[in-house]
Amino acid sequence: MSVGSYRLMRQAAGRGWFAQIQVETVPGDPGVLWSVPLGDPESVHPPGYAAEVTAALAGAAGALAALQAAGVDTTGHTVHIRQLGILATDTEQTAIRAASAAATAAAFDTPATVAFDGTAWHCEIPQAG
């Protein structure tokens, strides 16, 4: 079992972005599961935040594919999303997706870079080496 977390908190030109996510990897079938405990006051929950939950799941799944492409062995691991914190006024889906990807990379002890390209947030995972 390994835990990874990432907190994206940026402010520029009067606009803010925020997403905080924690994931845990456990032995199991490859994939990503929403495993935030019901009633966790620090996290959002479906169905009221379906788009945000979908973005978090997509970010972790994308990170698994990028990690494999970078030479990191992720086979035999399931990623559980344990926490997703947002600020309703300062969170959008690309920020959540990038933070989720970076948290997943951290759970596999792999550095990742989160950057804004002027339109959307992205997470880059370098080749292992």
Which range of residues forms the domain containing residue 38?
A: 2-124
Least confident of 22-26, 29-33, 44-48, 93-97: 44-48
Q: What is the CA radius of gyration of the chain?
A: 14
Which residue has tokens 């972005």?
17
Answer whether residue 128 shows pLDDT above 80.
no
* Euclidean distance between CA atoms 116 and 86, whole angstroms: 18
Q: Quick one: the chain helix, strand, coil %, rounded to 5?
A: 25, 35, 40
Question: Which CATH number covers residue 53?
Answer: 3.30.230.10
Q: Give domain status of residue 36, yes or no.
A: yes
In a domain, 53, yes or no: yes
Tens digits of per-residue pLDDT, 39-98? 898 898 888 899 999 999 999 999 999 999 999 999 999 999 999 999 877 778 999 999
pTM over 0.75: yes
